[in-house]
Amino acid sequence: MPNSKITIFDHPLIKHKISLLRDKNTGTKDFRTLIEEIATLMGYEALRDLPLENVEVETPICKTMSPMVSGKKLAIVPILRAGLGMVNGILALVPSAKVGHIGMYRDEVTHLPHEYYCKLPENIGERTIIVLDPMLATGGSAVDAVTLIKQRGGQHIKFMSIIAAPEGLKLLSETHPDVEIYCGNLDERLNENCYIVPGLGDAGDRIFGTK
């Protein structure tokens, strides 16, 4: 799937932490911590082109103009519920970023996404937007979330998932070729219930301790 807009991470720390996430014996507390830590590690790379602005700083020697990240120009948009788990990991890097929310759930039978909530920061068209969801399975939720953001004026959109299936990566990159996609790992396939194999199970349930 050669596409310059897709980044699949090969950093050993990300690989190590994803293996811990996959383990069915990893409990809620550790699972949450790992999701956050992986989001921070991935965010470091995904935010490489963040806009900078020169601000005046006074060093012990003299005044100078020095570049700083303008958090006002960034919007983080988790897809509820599981995307929420990644928010603090990104805010650790850019604490003043604005946060929007998109609520989506997958129908258990059809596996199609249904939107139930959308609230985005103001001036969304002027911001770099990072959509967060740990799981990119069929890609339906990601595609619909990006479409919704575009309908509301969003233009510069990145999508970050911790685990992706080839099916979801293909659908998202073909439907929204302008979107930069960052995946912690590309897994093998989907199973008959559209869960990622080997995956990590249901991310929302594992983050929030439901089920």
SS3 119: strand
Q: Which does 195 bind (CB under 5 to 8 A by kind): ligand PRP, ligand URA, none?
A: ligand URA
The residue from 43, 121, 184, 199 that contacts ligand URA (CB under 6 A) is 199
Which residue in this structure is represented by tokens 């992706």? 164
For residue 168, the partner it binds in ligand URA, ligand PRP, none, with Cβ less than 5 to 8 A by kind, is: ligand PRP
Q: CB nearer to ligand PRP: give 126 or 202.
A: 202
Residues in contact with ligand URA, shown as a per-residue x/- string from 118 to 137 under the rule CB under 6 A: -----------------x-x
Element (DSSP H or E) covering residue 135: strand 135-136
User: Mapping DSSP to helix (H, G, I), strand (E, B) and coil, where does residue 175 land?
Assistant: helix
Look at residue 126 and give the partner it binds from ligand URA, ligand PRP, none, a contact being a CB closer than 5 to 8 Å depending on partner kind.
Answer: none
- Residue ranges of the annotated binding site are 81, 106, 133-141, 196, 201-203
**Contacts of ligand PRP in 176-195 (CB under 6 A):** 194
Beta strands in the chain (DSSP E): 6-8, 52-58, 63-69, 74-80, 98-99, 101-106, 113-119, 128-132, 135-136, 156-164, 180-186, 189-190, 196-197
Distance CA 157, CA 181 (A): 9
Residue 43 site contact among ligand URA, ligand PRP, none (CB < 5 to 8 Å, cut-off depends on kind): none
- The pairing of beta strand 128-132 with beta strand 74-80: parallel
Q: Binding mask 50-79 vs ligand PRP (x if CB under 6 A, - otherwise)?
A: -----------------------------x
How far apart CA 72 and CA 94 sit, in angstroms, is 10
Tokens, residue 23: 């383990």
Q: Which of 130, 141, 145 is nearest to 165 (CA)?
A: 141
| Interface pattern 90-119 for ligand PRP (x via CB under 6 A) | --------------xxx----x-x------
How far apart CA 27 and CA 127 sit, in angstroms, is 36
Closest CA relative to residue 44, chosen from 19, 15, 14, 66: 14
Residue 20 CB, shortest distance to ligand PRP, in Å, is 19
* Catalytic residue status for 202: yes
Give the footprint of ligand URA on this chain (CB under 6 A). Answer: 82, 135, 137, 195-196, 199, 202-204
Give the footprint of ligand PRP on this chain (CB under 6 A). Answer: 79-82, 104-106, 111, 113, 133, 135-142, 168, 194, 202-204
